[in-house]
Structure 1
Amino acid sequence: MDSSENPVGVLVRDQRGGLAFAYDRAYVSQPGAISLSLSLPLTAEPFEEAVARPFFDNLLQERDGALSDIMAREGIARDDIAGLLFHLGKDCAGALSVLPAGSPPTKVPGDYQKDYQRLEDDRLIAIVDSLHKRRRLPAGTDDPSPLAGMQSKTALTLLPDGSLAGPLPGSGAPTTHILKVPDQEHIHDGSLEYEAMRLSHAVGFSTADVSLLPLAGIEVLLVTRFDRALDRDGRVVRIHQEDFAQALGLPSALKYERRGAPGRRFDVDAVRRILDATDDPAGERELFIQATLFDLLVGNVDGHAKNFALFHEPGGRIRTSPRYDILPTRLDDTLTDELAYRIGDATTLDEISGEDFDLFLQTVGISSAAARQRLSKRYATEIATKLAGHLDRLGKGGQKPLADLIASNMRTLLGALDIEVPGPARDRDAYIGRAGGWLLS
């Protein structure tokens, strides 16, 4: 783990490719030791294949193209997790590194003064252009922190003087920001995610900081990494976190409820189990309810298991991370409108009824019928009212489709919950994305 001189544990593979993981006994016994995952609690007993494989598989990139070189060069199959991590584990996602036994640590704190090299403008533009066109990064440019997800992005560091930089090769220093570059088919994704993240912050959620930069004629999104901090010496350090797929022991292929099976899927019941393990289950449940309402209203139906995360802190304390990766995916007619997890029995926004939302709250863990009715009315009203206050700004700022989508979603969801629609949303144009156009009122 970043900043640790000694291994947390040992990952092994048998001759048939089966994995097992065991914590180092000295690590388990030390004060302040933290578990790698809810699925890998601190214990001296080893974890076998069924538990070990999903967690370590999730340390690899989701984009198979990013693994193709090492697979071709070394003759390694995609399901050979240990083989891939043998070659790629020093740079895998998060605060962890997976290294051949006996190797010294490769992930260490970063000193702004000596561990980073500023990216010249032409170099930065070449990187953006490559990501935009989904081509290989320019020669001599290595992605220092492979990232999960399907969007075109790379990890960089924002220096105190405001310039962007990369860690010096071999430094092991962390990056501090993620640069997301929309591809040619989704040119507006940067500005859309920027607005959705700003709305999340304005509504009151702890949300990763974002800024919009014009580079190479493209609006790219610069996201502050929530899993970074400064130590007492002002050095950049990594904070250990895991996404909900890892916490549930699910491979990334099962990040949507529709891809799993009962008992082994990302659904609201599984989320409740995760939240029950945090330091403040009641508070985290209410935050998840609010986040669900917000996502429904802004049109983000891609809140899958890898878009929610947990912090593991010294002493075994666990809390959810700030919100990240919020994109109004319903604006893209090429994507499904099916929800990442069902609300009651509903699989789309249009199917949600009052009974479905009540069942959702019950599954989250709100047992009192009176409390469910009170919470649904209170949170839906509060979030809708705050969002409605931004519709005019969005419309005048070039984001009319997003403003109209939010207003349409309000009328649909609040109508189902028998809640009055805020005035600014009642009379806006209706967004009819899947019917192929706009309906002007």
Structure 2
Amino acid sequence: MANVKKLDVYRGTDLVGQLLDEPELQFIYAHSYLGGQGKSIAPALRISEKELSGPPVEAYFENLLPEASIRELLKLKYQVTSTFGLLSVIGGDTASDLMILPESERPIKPEYQAINWDEVALGFKSSSGTIQIAQQEKGMRISLAGAQRKLGILMDEQGNISLPLGSSPSSYIVKPDIAGIEGIWASAINETFVMKLAKQLGLDAAPVLYQPTAKSCIIKRYDRITNKVVGIQKIHQMDLCQLDLKPSTVKYETDGGPSLLRCYELLKESGVPASDFKRFLQWIFFNLFVGNNDSHAKNLSVYFPPGLGARLTPFYDLLSTSIYPGLSNQFAFKIGGENRPSHIGKAELCLMANELGFKEQYVLKIGQELSEALRVKIEVIAAEMNSVASVGAEKTMVERLSQHIASNTSQLQKRFFSRPPKIEMSLIKTLK
């Protein structure tokens, strides 16, 4: 045990426990935390004096890391390959309220460096800009989960932006256009459009804006609260892969990830209120209408805002993927046994309603009301986005996106809400 490498896990200045670099990743709560009023970091990692290991530990901590090609680049950059190794270099400011530091370090006062949008734009293109120099000289230990490159920033009420140094918390996330995937273009304005549309429909999506200089979608972090007394206050959260003990590589239902039923069960087990189950159903319909086939389980999270208990987080990572012909045409979840949007109709929706334990008419009403509101609001968002889009690809994306979503919604309305459902009771029993 004397030679085992350790990482300290903090909540604010409180030491929660230690992550141990064993062949099987281990976590142990600190004695000082056991004697206080601290809460567990996850339902499967209950407070105990024992060393915890296995899938609950690996799934929780692995899901804090970036995914796919971004993770591979980090492995090359830092010459580390394991979850422990990656967290040792970028685990300072993670999703949720935890700070992960090498055993010899302690939380320090947050430090920031003023930057501008030109520097952000250059940072996404160059390996020698202001941001890269700050990373090398002063360190940035920020882990933003997901499969896309991102940058955490601090932004004040006047719009001034700063770069978090070391493990200092960010308040906004900058997502530039997705690069390196053939056929994907203007994804930042696509995401901004779709996120704003969700917000306009009252779905409680994270606030966003489009930044034309950096050609990026700027997302306000819902797991951060700015407090004039203590600065940025972090809020604990867990995505549904963490709650289901699934690694980020198993986030799609077709790979063995959580199904819609399992997502519903996880939300129920977390204790979210009834209003959040309605939002869950709205999220399903919204993703179908806008053509977001990448709406997997990691895009749903539970958080614990002060005084409100467990809640389904504001929605995030909403993008119309079906506008890109080269991407998958399958929905991320099966609905009534079907994951091809062109084959999902009223019968499949009614099967889904029965599987989840909702009345069919309640589910259909939620979808119909949302579709009608969407067709009205889409022109409002298109006009707003045209005011910030420059000429060329951005203008083209706004125009095509508004037409694509309106057409897709119209087609689904006819299939979902016009035909009488034909459901075999044997199918319902099979799905249950």
Question: TM-score range with shorter-chain normalisation?
Answer: 0.7 to 0.9
Structure 2 match to 1:96: 98
Q: What is the aligned residue count?
A: 391
Aligned to 2:427: none
Cα shift readout 1:220-253 (whole Å, capped 9, x = no counterpart): 2111111111235051222221211111111000
Residue by residue over 1:130-173, the C-alpha shift from the partner in whole angstroms, topping out at 9 and shown as x without a partner, is 4xxxx686640425523222223211111343221112x34x32
2:101 alignment partner, SS class: coil
Distance 2:319 2:74 in 1: 30
TM-score for both structures, normalised by structure 1: 0.80
Structure 1 residues 196 and 158: alpha-carbon distance in aligned structure 2, compared to 1, 3 A threshold: same
Counterpart in the other structure of 1:197: 195
The within-5 A match list for 1:238-249 is: 238-249=234-245
Q: Which residue, 378, 381, 385 being the options, matches 2:372?
A: 385
> What residue ranges of structure 1 are gaps of 5+ in the alignment?
367-371, 421-441
Within the candidate set 253, 258, 274, 1:257 is matched to 253
TM-score normalised according to structure 2 size: 0.81
User: Following TM superposition, by how much is the alpha carbon of 1:340 offset from its aligned partner in structure 2, in angstroms?
Assistant: 1.2
Tell me if structure 1 keeps the 8 A contact 2:354–2:360: no
Equivalent of residue 179 in structure 1, options 160, 174, 185: 174
Q: Does 2:299 correspond to 1:307?
A: yes
316 and 209 in structure 1: CA distance in 2 versus 1, 3 angstrom threshold: closer
CA contact (8 A) 1:156 1:166 kept: yes
Identify which range, 199-208 or 55-64, moves more after superposition.
55-64
CA distance in 1, matches of 2:220, 2:124: 17
Deviation larger for 33-42 or 307-316: 307-316
Alignment equivalent of 1:295, drawn from 287, 296, 301: 287
Partner-residue secondary structure (3-state), 1:266: coil
Once residues 259 and 279 of structure 2 are traced to their aligned partners in structure 1, the CA distance between those partners, rounded to angstroms, is 16
1:149 aligns with 2:146: yes
Q: Is this contact kept in 2: 1:176–1:224, CA < 8 A?
A: yes
Are positions 1:360 and 2:352 aligned together? yes
With over 3 angstroms needed to count, the CA separation of the structure-2 counterparts of 1:25 and 1:282, relative to structure 1, is: farther
Q: Give the alignment partner of residue 126 of structure 1, picking from 107, 122, 125.
A: 122
Match of 1:209 among 193, 198, 207: 207
Q: CA deviation at 1:210?
A: 0.8
Q: 1:72/1:400 Cα in 2 relative to 1: closer, same or farther (>3 Å)?
A: closer
SS in 1 for 2:113: strand
1:279 match: 271
Q: 1:5 aligns with which of 1, 9, 13?
A: 13
| SS in structure 2 of the partner of residue 187 of structure 1 | coil
1:175 deviates by 1.0
2:360 is aligned to 373
SS in 1 for 2:365: helix
Q: Secondary structure at the match of 2:198?
A: helix
**Superposition map of 1:301-340 within 5 A:** 301-312=293-304, 317-340=309-332
In the alignment, which of 330, 335, 345 is matched to residue 337 of structure 2? 345
The alpha carbon displacement at 1:63 in A equals: 3.8
Q: Is the 8 A contact 2:60 2:245 kept in 1?
A: yes
SS of residue matched to 1:390? helix
Once the two structures are aligned, what percentage of the paired residues are identical? 25
Structure 1 residue 288: Cα displacement: 0.5
- Of 87-96 and 346-355, the range deviating more from structure 2: 87-96
Unmatched tracts of structure 2, length 5 or more: 1-8, 387-394, 420-432
For residues 66-119 of structure 1, what are the alpha-carbon distances to aligned partners after superposition, in whole Å with 9 as ceiling and x for unaligned? 454555765x4x3x322333343334444322333353235x6x4xxxx32211
Contact 1:40/1:47 (8 A) holds in 2? yes
Instruction: Using the TM superposition, name which of 176-185 and 38-47 deviates more.
Output: 38-47
1:60 paired residue among 65, 79, 93:
65
Contact 1:19 1:52 in 2 (8 A): yes
Q: Identify which of 32, 35, 44 aligns with 1:39.
A: 44
- C-alpha change, 1:29 and 1:339, in structure 2 (3 Å) is farther
Alpha-carbon separation, structure 2, partners of 1:57 and 1:407:
38
Q: Deviations for 1:248-284, whole angstroms, at most 9, x for unmatched residues?
A: 1110000111111xxxx21112112211123334322
Pair 1:92–1:417, CA change in 2 (3 A): closer
Residue of structure 2 equivalent to 1:437: none
